[in-house]
């Protein structure tokens, strides 16, 4: 049986090179996956000075959920748990706080949402030399620069492209989903989040429902008074 060839053997060399480049590009496109649903679990590494002061925070986690235009972040610090439920279509954010002092709910309307969105739009990401494999994905190193000039390190998976760029407003300008990144705390210290699992199966809609009871509705100003 004769071998079947898809390209004539007498093609000029330059055409062979063109075909090779197109073939590699097509393979890259096939590797990329547009993500509409995801559940990503990260372990949190605290700044050394904070870890020494509060051993109770060891083993803290951050979980990112994505479902279409909805997203949710659970940050479990053991002593306190924060949940952020974001609707990028309605431009709303609900914050849930569960701590030893009580359970609180804060609603942020579209005005406040868009104010934060404008700030995060100003974050610029620049690819840096270096890659790292995280939970089976090859990740590109990048540096994020805040509008105020602060910088943070990111490793992101080019092959995971979020359909909803606003699932995390902090990373809307990133060319993939971050699987390791630094979080700048209010004191200026940096906490690191490192992915331990990625699940791209559909996420139940119930994860994004705002509790109808069990939480006290307060404003951000009231929360600051409680903290003080």
pLDDT in tens, 48-71: 766 555 666 788 999 999 999 999
Q: Rounded to whole angstroms, how far apart are CA atoms 145 and 119? A: 12
Residue 41 inside a domain? The answer is yes
Residue 9 inside a domain? The answer is no
Domain containing residue 67: CATH number: 2.50.20.10
**What is the maximum span of the chain, computed from C-alpha positions, in angstroms?**
83
Please tell me the predicted confidence (pLDDT) of residue 12: 55
Please tell me the predicted confidence (pLDDT) of residue 16: 46
Q: Domain total for the chain?
A: 1
Mean pLDDT of the chain: 85
Residue 27 inside a domain? The answer is no
Residue 218 inside a domain? The answer is yes
Is this structure's pTM higher than 0.85? Answer: no
Residue 50 inside a domain? The answer is yes
Q: Has residue 90 got a pLDDT over 90?
A: yes
Owning domain of residue 161: 33-227
Residue 22 inside a domain? The answer is no
Residue 13 inside a domain? The answer is no
């Amino acid at each position: 049986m004769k071998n079947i060839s898809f390209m004539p053997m007498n093609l000029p060399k330059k055409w062979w090179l063109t075909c090779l480049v197109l073939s590699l590009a097509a393979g890259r496109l096939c590797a990329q996956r547009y993500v509409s649903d995801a559940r990503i679990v990260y372990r949190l590494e605290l700044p050394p000075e904070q870890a020494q002061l509060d051993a109770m925070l060891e083993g803290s986690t951050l979980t990112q959920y994505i479902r279409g235009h909805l997203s949710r972040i659970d940050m479990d610090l053991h002593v306190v748990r924060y949940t952020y439920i974001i609707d990028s279509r309605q431009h709303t954010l609900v914050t849930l706080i569960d701590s030893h002092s009580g359970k609180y709910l804060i609603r942020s309307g579209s005005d406040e949402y868009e104010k934060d969105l404008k700030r995060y739009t100003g974050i610029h990401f620049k690819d840096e030399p270096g890659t790292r494999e995280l939970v089976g994905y090859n990740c590109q190193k990048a540096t994020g620069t805040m509008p105020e000039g602060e910088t943070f390190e990111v490793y992101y998976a080019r092959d995971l492209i979020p359909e909803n760029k606003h699932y995390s407003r902090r990373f809307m300008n990133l060319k993939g989903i971050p699987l390791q990144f630094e979080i700048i705390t209010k004191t200026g210290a940096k906490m690191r989040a490192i992915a331990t699992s990625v699940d791209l199966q559909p996420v139940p809609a119930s994860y994004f429902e705002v509790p109808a009871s069990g939480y006290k509705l307060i404003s951000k100003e009231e929360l600051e008074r409680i903290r003080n």
